[in-house]
């Protein structure tokens, strides 16, 4: 089965922000007022300032809208079945509600916590298990149940738009709930993260090194994550505050700090993995979930799984 959906983009600088949404060659774009969020469905309706020529007329011709006056971009161009199954509307509501609650005082840690959101607790805590639910509404998505729910958050980033030196906080690894956000800058060399990750495990790749911790943790998330999340949060707070503090420092200083953060993350994760392995995995009601992840691990040739 081939899965696809049309793409949405956030385009921003320190002064302005836009949402651009595309459906094949057709597009609509709106200027952000206050705050906004996107997910894997088309959220723009009539409130756009830019659009493809004849966007509404084409939808009417195809029978997707009754008239140009009734035309709404998302209603007309969304794929109904995929939008329903992918739960994009629900995830956008979660992130948008979180942004509106802190509008005017949002911080980098706030944005990181939004990206780590799990349901049903609606926060980034550990009172949650990834096997819950047939369809995922989590912002931090976890694969399960094979073809029905095989999507997993691959990487995450938060950008602090300083006028001179925007700071980008990246995981470079899957599932932000188990990952560390680390600072990088566009005018400095990126830390060495090993080979570009492929479809199977590579011990020299930072992405796959983290997968050992990630995949061990999600065998019993609530119990196993508790062994290192507090330490992870404390170390990450040092990375974030340190990165913001030196955002306008010389490029060499910032590059060295970024490399040190990546090195610290790489050094500590094996310790966390050993802590996790000391806790027997006893997930509840998870045989289908375990079956799916056993297959994922076999396909990726994961050692020890």
DSSP state of 197: P
Instruction: Tell me, yes or no, whether 153 and 72 share the same domain.
Output: no
Instruction: Tell me, yes or no, whether 146 and 264 share the same domain.
Output: yes
What pLDDT does 11 receive?
96
Dist CA 133 CA 296 (whole Å): 19
Instruction: Tell me, yes or no, whether 65 and 122 share the same domain.
Output: no
Q: Among 74, 90, 106, give the residue marking a domain's end.
A: 106
Handedness of CA 42, 44, 45, 50 (dihedral sign): negative
Q: Among 106, 141, 158, give the residue marking a domain's end.
A: 106
The mean per-residue pLDDT over the stretch 183-191 comes to 94
Total count of domains within the chain: 2
Q: Among 106, 123, 157, give the residue marking a domain's end.
A: 106
Lowest mean pLDDT among 148-157, 243-252, 253-262, 292-301: 148-157
Beta bridge partners of 149: 144
Instruction: Tell me, yes or no, whether 75 and 133 share the same domain.
Output: no
Q: Which two tokens stand for residue 298?
A: 């076999």
Confidence class of residue 124 from pLDDT cuts 50, 70 and 90?
very low
Q: How many percent of the chain have pLDDT more than 70?
A: 89
pLDDT over threshold 90, residue 119: no
Instruction: Tell me, yes or no, whether 145 and 273 share the same domain.
Output: yes
Instruction: Tell me, yes or no, whether 77 and 155 share the same domain.
Output: no
What pLDDT does 147 receive?
56
**Phi/psi at 144 (5° precision):** -175, 160
The mean per-residue pLDDT over the stretch 70-93 comes to 81
**pLDDT (tens digit per residue) in 266-286:** 999 999 999 999 999 877 667
What pLDDT does 5 receive?
57
pLDDT over threshold 80, residue 132: no
Confidence class of residue 22 from pLDDT cuts 50, 70 and 90?
very high
Boundaries of domain holding 80: 1-106
Q: What is the mean pLDDT of the chain?
A: 89
Is residue 215 within 8 A of residue 297, CB to CB? The reply is yes
Choice between 149 and 301, residue whose per-residue pLDDT is larger: 301
What pLDDT does 120 receive?
61
């Amino acid at each position: 089965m081939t899965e696809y959906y049309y793409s949405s983009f956030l385009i921003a600088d320190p002064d302005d922000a836009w949402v651009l949404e595309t459906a094949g060659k057709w597009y609509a774009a709106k200027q952000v007022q206050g705050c906004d969020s996107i997910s894997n469905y088309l959220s723009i309706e009539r409130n756009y300032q830019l659009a493809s020529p004849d966007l509404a007329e084409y939808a009417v011709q195809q029978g997707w809208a009754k008239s140009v006056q009734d035309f709404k971009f998302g209603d007309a161009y969304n794929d109904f079945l995929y939008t329903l199954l992918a739960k994009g509307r629900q995830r956008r509501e979660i992130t948008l509600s979180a942004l509106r609650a802190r509008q005017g005082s949002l911080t980098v840690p706030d944005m990181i916590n939004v990206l780590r959101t799990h349901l049903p607790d609606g926060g980034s805590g550990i009172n949650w298990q990834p096997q819950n639910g047939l369809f995922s509404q989590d912002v931090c998505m976890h694969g399960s149940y094979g073809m029905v729910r095989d999507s997993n958050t691959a990487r995450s980033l938060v950008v602090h738009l300083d006028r001179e030196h925007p700071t980008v906080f990246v995981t470079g690894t899957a599932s932000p709930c188990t990952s560390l956000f680390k600072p990088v800058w566009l005018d400095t060399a990126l830390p060495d993260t090993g080979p570009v990750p492929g479809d199977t495990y590579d011990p020299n790749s930072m992405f796959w090194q983290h997968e050992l911790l990630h995949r061990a943790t999600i065998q019993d998330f609530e119990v196993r994550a508790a062994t290192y999340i507090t330490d992870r949060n404390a170390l990450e707070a040092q990375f974030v505050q340190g990165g913001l503090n030196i955002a306008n420092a010389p490029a060499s200083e910032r590059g060295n700090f970024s490399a040190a953060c990546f090195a610290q993350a790489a050094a500590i994760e094996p310790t966390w993995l050993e802590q996790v392995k000391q806790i027997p995995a006893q997930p509840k009601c998870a045989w289908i979930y375990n079956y799916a992840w056993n297959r994922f691990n076999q396909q990726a040739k994961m050692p020890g799984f």
